[in-house]
């Protein structure tokens, strides 16, 4: 059985349908990359899976159980953790305090402050620093670490590289690679197509709230995804601009 199944999900912001009948599944241990232009609905979809935004129609199934109406804090306890866009840390609290907060609603498991610091060694000397004083990369590591402290089965990462230098992004992804190898199931929103394709098993390209392209990342060409990104994949090859 799939760890997560999303069926015909519709999510609105008022009158605007940001997610328009999206369906997909993800198996245990898989990494799924969600790509698409600004406003395609990636963040809204991720938030609906995390329970932070209630869909107007459709289903979210975790391990076969319908969790569509379950509030976000209860989903954390069921193993679904979101690292939101913009990190949303408590800036007056230290790295350690932010990490410990991640434990409060989570599941019992192996993640501890020490293990997070081992996973993100750049945080070690910053353990007692207020997160408001950290660099972007250290803040991102703290945000991911806080989600890991809930011992998630499914980790949802929204644009973890946003605002970070290429070098720091490499570092964050090197740490994520460890999580991926250890079998954590991950859905990540990533703007960098090359990175999205190289880190994931499966890729979904969204366009105006719908799935424009879905398939295994291996063998998927950057060109194919780029066309879906701009809505050119359904047109003839002759209509694609150079
Ligand atoms: N809080 C909100 N209120 C009203 N409309 C919103 C809100 N958040 C997002 N939207 C709209 O919903 C649509 C989908 O936005 P969403 O943020 O999910 O897209 P995205 O693919 O994640 O884009 P980005 O890469 O810019 O974050 C957009 O048209 C956006 O303007």
Q: Where residue 80 sits, what CATH number does that domain have?
A: 3.40.50.300
Per-residue confidence at 87, pLDDT binned at 50, 70, 90? confident
Per-residue confidence at 236, pLDDT binned at 50, 70, 90? very low
CA 38 to ligand 1 center in whole angstroms: 8
Q: What is the pLDDT of residue 166?
A: 84
Instruction: Classify residue 52: in a domain, yes or no.
Output: yes
Instruction: Classify residue 178: in a domain, yes or no.
Output: yes
State what percent of residues in the chain have pLDDT above 90: 66
Residue nearest atom 30 of ligand 1, based on CA coordinates:
39
What does the pLDDT average to over 153-181?
86
What does the pLDDT average to over 226-234?
84
What is the number of the ligand 1 atom nearest to the C-alpha of 206?
21
Alpha-carbon gap, residue 177 to 211, rounded angstroms: 26
Instruction: Classify residue 196: in a domain, yes or no.
Output: yes
Tell whether the model's pLDDT for residue 233 goes beyond 80: no
Count CB neighbours of 37 within 10 A: 16
Among the listed ranges 24-28, 133-137, 229-233, which one has the minimum average pLDDT value? 229-233
Among the listed ranges 69-83, 95-109, 112-126, 174-188, which one has the minimum average pLDDT value? 174-188
Alpha-carbon gap, residue 158 to 166, rounded angstroms: 17
Burial of 38 (0-12, 13-18, 19+ CB in 10 A): exposed
What is the number of the ligand 1 atom nearest to the C-alpha of 40?
21
CA 12 to ligand 1 center in whole angstroms: 10
- The pLDDT tens digits for 204-224 are 999 999 999 999 999 898 899
Please, what's the b/e burial string for 170-205 (b: 16 or more CB within 10 A of its CB; e: otherwise)?
Answer: ebbbebbeebbeeebbbbbbbebbebbbebbbbbbb
DSSP of 78-103: TTEEEE-TT----TTSBHHHHHHHHH
Interface confidence, given as ipTM, is 0.94
Number of domains observed in the structure of the chain? 1
**162 or 66, greater pLDDT:** 66
Q: What is the pLDDT of residue 237?
A: 43
Alpha-carbon gap, residue 225 to 204, rounded angstroms: 9
Count CB neighbours of 16 within 10 A: 11
Alpha-carbon gap, residue 22 to 141, rounded angstroms: 30
Please, what's the b/e burial string for 103-126 (b: 16 or more CB within 10 A of its CB; e: otherwise)?
Answer: beebbeeebebeebbebbebbeeb
Domain carrying residue 131: 4-234
Distance of CA 53 to the CA centre of its chain: 15
Instruction: Classify residue 214: in a domain, yes or no.
Output: yes
Residue nearest atom 4 of ligand 1, based on CA coordinates:
13
What does the pLDDT average to over 35-64?
96
Residue nearest atom 2 of ligand 1, based on CA coordinates:
13
Q: Which residue has the tokens 């069921």?
A: 78
What is the number of the ligand 1 atom nearest to the C-alpha of 209?
14
Q: Write out the two tokens for 49.
A: 């899976």
Instruction: Classify residue 175: in a domain, yes or no.
Output: yes
What is the number of the ligand 1 atom nearest to the C-alpha of 19?
14
Q: What is the pLDDT of residue 178?
A: 82
Instruction: Classify residue 240: in a domain, yes or no.
Output: no
- The pLDDT tens digits for 62-75 are 999 999 999 999 99
Instruction: Classify residue 241: in a domain, yes or no.
Output: no
CA 157 to ligand 1 center in whole angstroms: 16
- Lining ligand 1 with CB less than 6 A are 13, 16, 18, 36, 38-44
Q: What is the pLDDT of residue 119?
A: 86
């Amino acid at each position: 059985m799939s760890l997560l199944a999303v069926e015909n999900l519709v999510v609105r912001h008022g009158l605007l349908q940001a997610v328009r009948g999206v369906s997909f599944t993800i198996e245990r241990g898989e990494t799924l990359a969600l790509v698409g232009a600004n406003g395609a609905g990636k963040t809204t979809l991720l938030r609906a899976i995390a329970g932070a935004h209630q869909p107007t129609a459709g289903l979210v199934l975790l391990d076969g159980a319908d969790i569509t109406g379950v509030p976000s804090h209860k989903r954390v306890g069921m193993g679904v953790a979101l690292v939101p866009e913009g990190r949303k840390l408590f800036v007056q609290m230290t790295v350690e305090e932010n990490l410990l907060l991640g434990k409060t609603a989570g599941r019992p498991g192996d993640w501890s402050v020490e293990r997070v610091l081992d996973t993100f060694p750049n945080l070690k000397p910053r353990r007692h620093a207020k997160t408001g004083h950290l660099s972007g990369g250290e803040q991102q590591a703290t945000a991911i670490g806080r989600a890991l402290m809930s011992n998630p089965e499914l980790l949802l990462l929204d644009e973890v590289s946003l605002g970070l230098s290429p070098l720091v992004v490499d570092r964050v992804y090197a740490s994520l690679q460890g999580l991926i190898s250890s079998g954590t199931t991950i859905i990540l929103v990533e703007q960098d197509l090359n990175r999205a394709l190289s880190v994931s098993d499966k890729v979904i390209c969204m366009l105006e709230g719908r799935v424009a392209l879905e398939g295994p990342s291996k063998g998927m060409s950057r060109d194919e995804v780029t066309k879906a990104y701009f809505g050119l994949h359904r047109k003839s090859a002759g209509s694609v601009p150079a």
